[in-house]
Structure formats: structure tokens, C-alpha cells
Amino acid sequence: MLEHVPQWIGEMLKNVRAGHSKLVIAQDGIYTTGVRLDISSPAFASGARLPIRFTADGEGVSPPLVWGSAPEGTTSVALIVEDPDAPATSPLVHAIVWNLPVDENRLAEGAIIADGKRSLDGSDVGRNSYLAEGWLPPDPPTGHGSHDYVFQLFALSKTADIGSNPGRSGFVNAIKGNVLAAGILVGTYSRGDDAVIGFTATTPTTA
């Protein structure tokens, strides 16, 4: 949808961004333990450009993710993906996945799709910023510059029932005070800018 925004508008809004300080993981009372949870993707390095197939310019499927063992006492794992560079007052939510099994340690490519009330393993795909279930493919305005897509993974000591199709506010309220470990993975994407795709970045994969 945003691919139709004229480039001159994107360039005018280049400095209008929600801000990384508004990411869920950066909010007070969320990530207090300092224990890191390794998260990575076999499709891109942290800090590198997302392959087109995961964006609105390609197939628009969610990327594969893998992560390390969660600490003792973890009851479930939760994921939220946000774009803090969106020209908005808050980061744009691209995916929420709630109540992932502790021992699964992965999400396959294309796994973040609408699942109704929840999937067979008990996990639940929530609402993105377009109020739809599933993966919202990166779709930055042309000329707005590079956007970070921040995959934030949380190991939780308590799994609250936040109902089907959870949104950002319900997600934040449910994890607050329950985070045992957390990690981040950053993929980037832009339109109208030259960028290298692949494993060229050297930034850490965790928070």
C-alpha cells in the first residue's frame, strides 16, 4: 500500500519516526533481568537487509526464526515485531505471536499467519497494526530511508490468557513483570535507496 506514496512525500517525512525508545522491549518494567535470549534467522543477519520475499515487494511471508534455550522457569515464549521508524507516534506492529511452546525454539518461514482462536500447539497469532492476524509485510514509504524491523522475543515466567487475537496493549500488559529473558533481531528494509542484501552486518543478535 505505501509503495504508492510519492517519493517526495517519503523524503519530506524522513525525520518523522516513532523512535526506538518506544519499542516494547524498551518500556519500563518489561526487560529487567538482563538475561539474554539468542534469536537469529537463517535468512538474514541481524542488522542486514531483509530479503524481498519477506516484504510487500515480494511474497510477503514471514521469515524463519530460531532461538536458544530459555532459562529455567519459562512457561512460554512470546514474539512481537515492530517498526520504530514508521512515520507515526508509535512503532508499527508487524506481528505478534503469543504462547509459543518452550521447547520449540523455532518458527518456520511463513508460519506467522492467521490462525483464528489459536493453533493446535496452543500458540496464538495476534493482530498487527492493520488490525489483521498474521505477518504484516514491511512496506516503507519510498524515499523515507531505511527502516528497522525489530523482532523482540521474550521468555515468560507466566502465561496469561489474553484472549484470541491479542493486540499490542494486551501483549505489553501480559508480559510486564513476567520476562525472564529477552532478545532482539533486527532486519532492515527501504525503498528508493541502494542497499546490500545478505549476511553483511555484524551487529549482535540479542538485546
State the burial class of residue 188 (Cβ atoms within 10 Å of its Cβ: 0-12, 13-18, 19+): buried
User: How far out from the chain centre does Cα 207 lie?
Assistant: 13
Q: Does domain 2-11+18-189 have CATH number 3.90.280.10?
A: yes
Q: What is the pLDDT along the chain (207 residues), one digit of tens a residue?
A: 555 555 534 455 556 698 999 999 999 999 999 999 999 999 999 999 999 999 999 999 999 999 999 999 999 999 999 999 999 899 999 999 999 999 999 999 999 999 887 665 778 999 999 999 999 999 999 888 999 999 999 999 998 888 778 899 999 999 999 999 999 999 999 997 655 555 544 444 444
State the burial class of residue 51 (Cβ atoms within 10 Å of its Cβ: 0-12, 13-18, 19+): middle
The per-residue pLDDT for range 135-171, each reduced to its tens digit, is 999 999 988 899 999 999 999 999 888 877 889 999 9
User: If residue 67 lies in a helix (H) or strand (E), which one and from where to where?
Assistant: strand 65-67
Q: What is the pLDDT of residue 207?
A: 41
CB 123 within 8 A of CB 107: no
Q: What is the pLDDT of residue 9?
A: 47
Q: Look up cell 521447547; give the residue.
A: 103
Query: Which residues are CB-contacts of 192 (< 8 A; sequence separation ≥ 6)?
Result: 7, 10, 142, 143
Q: What is the pLDDT of residue 52?
A: 97
Give 156's strand partners. Answer: 76, 179
pTM, entire model: 0.87
Q: What is the pLDDT of residue 205?
A: 42
Q: Look up cell 497494526; give the residue.
A: 129
Q: Look up cell 482462536; give the residue.
A: 117
List the chain domain ranges.
2-11+18-189
Q: What is the pLDDT of residue 34?
A: 95
Closest CA to 102 of 82, 73, 60: 73
Closest CA to 64 of 95, 107, 104: 107
